[in-house]
């Protein structure tokens, strides 16, 4: 029997010790990828093969909160972060059973301003339903870390001050009310980030934040991630992990 997903703690994250920037995988939807112009979907079968590849290499996927806490204790070797953006309903049906089979944890970044809605921000491709409040609570009850992806999925680098505050601070308040647990993690919509957005996230009380390739802003509130898609076979994953280890130098606070 696969090991259960460990519950996420409710305390603030301890300060990470210096070391290489952690490898964090970025997923979105897990289901039918026959119509997928943005390459945001993997099938459950492909996800299973990817997690099996990690385990064969002695690695285990965990939530970002668990990863950073382990690294702060000097125990993060062998752990990688698994993140799922947008909060699609297929996380419960497509991703969660596979995660449990391989004894992995994950962080799910959701949009509390679009509960039960869909991915209206994507002009192309099929409409994908988003989790309701009950669906998010169900994921949290299964031990999945719930983080904020903003309220409504807007580019924070183009937002005015009022929108930026709502997307960052109000989304955290709504998630705390919804789950009963303060959200430690934030994820920048579209992966776009600048110093102003980083400061807003830090000021709102998040312990960490995920981007995609934040460049010189890389740090606890702008963690880089590697996109993982349907075409990522074992060989491609090997190259992505190797490239990460070559490119990502130690950064203070990570």
Average pLDDT per consecutive 10 residues, the chain (254 residues; last block may be shorter) = 41 54 95 94 98 96 97 92 98 98 98 98 94 98 98 98 97 97 97 97 98 92 96 92 74 62
Spatial separation of the C-alpha atoms in residues 125 and 113, rounded to whole Å: 22
Spatial separation of the C-alpha atoms in residues 172 and 147, rounded to whole Å: 8
pLDDT in tens, 141-181: 999 999 999 999 999 999 999 999 999 999 999 999 999 99
Two tokens, residue 184: 């430690």
Segment holding 25, helix H or strand E: strand 24-27
pLDDT value at position 4? 41
Residue 79 DSSP SS3: strand
Q: What is the DSSP string of 160-201?
A: -HHHHHIIIIIHHHHHHHHHSS---EEE-GGG---HHHHHHH
Residue 223 DSSP SS3: strand
């Amino acid at each position: 029997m696969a090991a259960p997903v460990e519950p996420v703690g409710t305390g603030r994250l301890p300060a990470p010790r210096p070391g290489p920037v952690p490898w964090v995988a970025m997923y979105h939807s897990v289901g039918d990828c026959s119509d997928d112009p943005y390459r945001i979907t993997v099938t459950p079968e492909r996800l299973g093969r990817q997690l099996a590849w990690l385990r064969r290499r002695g690695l285990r996927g965990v939530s970002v909160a668990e990863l950073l806490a382990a690294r702060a204790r000097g125990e993060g070797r062998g752990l990688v972060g698994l993140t799922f953006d947008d909060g699609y309903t297929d996380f419960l049906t497509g991703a969660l059973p596979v995660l449990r089979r391989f004894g992995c944890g994950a962080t799910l970044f959701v949009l509390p301003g679009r509960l039960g809605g869909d991915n209206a921000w994507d002009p192309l491709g099929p409409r994908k339903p988003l989790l309701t409040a009950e669906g998010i609570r169900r994921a949290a009850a299964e031990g999945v870390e719930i983080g904020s992806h903003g309220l409504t999925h807007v580019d924070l680098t183009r937002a005015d001050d009022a929108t930026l505050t709502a997307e960052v601070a109000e989304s955290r308040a709504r998630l705390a009310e919804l789950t009963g647990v303060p959200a430690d993690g934030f994820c920048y919509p579209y992966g776009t980030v600048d110093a102003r957005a980083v400061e807003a996230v830090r000021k709102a009380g998040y312990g960490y934040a995920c981007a995609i390739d934040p460049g010189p802003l890389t740090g606890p509130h702008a963690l880089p991630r590697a996109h993982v898609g349907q075409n990522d076979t074992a060989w491609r994953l090997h190259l992505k992990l190797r490239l990460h280890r070559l490119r990502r130098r130690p950064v203070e606070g990570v």
